[in-house]
Structures are given as C-alpha cells and as structure tokens.
Amino acid sequence: MRTILTAGIWLVLPVLVLAADEEPPKDAAPPERNQLKPTNEIESWVFELTDEGDGEVAVDGDAIVFKTTKTTGTDWHVQAYQTGLDLREGKDYVVRFKMKSPQEVTLLLVGQIHEPDWHEIGLHQDIQPTKEFEDYEFEFTATDTVQGNNRIGFVLGIDEGEVHVKDMTLTRKE
C-alpha cells in the first residue's frame, strides 16, 4: 500500500508544479489595486490656488478637508489633485470615496492629464455633497491619457465652503 501511495504522489507532484509555473495570459487584467495615495495625508495632494482664489487644506482624523475661502468666478482657481497616475488608454476605472460638506456647495470631480494643455481624460462629475458622509462611486473610460502623468481630483472654486473626503480609491475595473 505504501508503494502505491508513494507512486501516486510522484505522479501528481509534477502536474502540480507545472500548474504553479504557468504564467497568466498576457491579456489578463492585473489584480485590483488602488492607484491613489492615502486620502487623509496632506502630502498626497497638490492643492492649487490661482489668481485671487484662496483656500486651505487640513486633516481631520481619517478625512482630508479642503476649504475654499475665496472664489473668483473661475472654478479651477481652487483645486486639489492626486498626480502621477498611470491610467491606461481605453481602460475602465472606478473612483470611490466618502464625502460631506457642512455648507451647500457644488464641486467637480475630474480626471485630467497633469501637464499643459490639462485636458480631461473621461471623468467629469458635478457633486453636491450632503451634511453627512455619503458614498460616491463613478466609473469612466480613460481617454487621451499621458503615460504616468494623469491626475484625479476636485475643482473647488465654485462655492466657498469646506469639503471632507475620506477613503478615496481609484482602481481599474475588472
């Protein structure tokens, strides 16, 4: 009996080793991976103030807080982005986060290239957050991207007020 069991193991073992060595097909999607840095770290964000637009950024526990203190009539004069994203042309992505605002404000969630001409890459959503944290999820197809130099973030210069964001992720849709 011992001989049959040992022979069986030697017959099955090479099949298991060969199966483990097989590479996934080249067109297989990579595992879901968040491309964003931690939401509640100021260093994760580029906070841009242009012309007379004014604001500040702070951390409140597990959330980042963007505060617009002066608008100019041009929405992009206050904005915050995570940069250096390597989005693949024609691939589908999902952005998820929780957001709230104590004031009634409107802002934009956008994806762009992070170099002149700053064009959008398939993501443009108006958002009017509520007073309590609410879940948001947006899908988009990345178009006209630049390898390794795209950005996702918020255009905040529409209304004065503050916005709290937490648990933000950007993943490729499988």
Spans of all domains in the chain = 29-172
Task: Please list, in sequence order, all residues whose beta carbon lies within 8 angstroms of the beta carbon of residue 118, skipping any fewer than 6 positions away.
Answer: 112
DSSP string, the chain: -HHHHHHHHHHHHHHHHHHHHPPPPTTPPPPP---SPPTT-GGG-EEEE-TT-EEEEEEETTEEEEEEEE--S-GGGEEEEEEEE-PPTT-EEEEEEEEE-SS---EEEEEEESSTT--EEEEEEEE---SS-EEEEEEEE--S--TT-EEEEEE--SSSEEEEEEEEEEEE--
**pLDDT for position 15:** 44
Q: What is the pLDDT of residues 108-142, one digit of tens each?
A: 999 999 999 999 999 999 999 999 999 999 999 99
DSSP string, 48-75: EE-TT-EEEEEEETTEEEEEEEE--S-G
**pLDDT for position 30:** 55
Cβ(155)–Cβ(79) under 8 Å? yes
pLDDT at 74 over 50: yes
Confidence of residue 13 (pLDDT cuts 50, 70, 90): very low
Region 25-44: mean pLDDT is 78
**pLDDT for position 10:** 45
% pLDDT > 90, the chain: 81
% pLDDT > 70, the chain: 82
* Structure-token match 């947006």, residue found: 138
**pLDDT for position 27:** 44
* Structure-token match 């998820």, residue found: 96
The bridge status of strand 63-70 relative to strand 161-172 is: antiparallel
pLDDT at 19 over 80: no
CATH number of 29-172: 2.60.120.260
| The two structure tokens encoding residue 98 | 């929780």
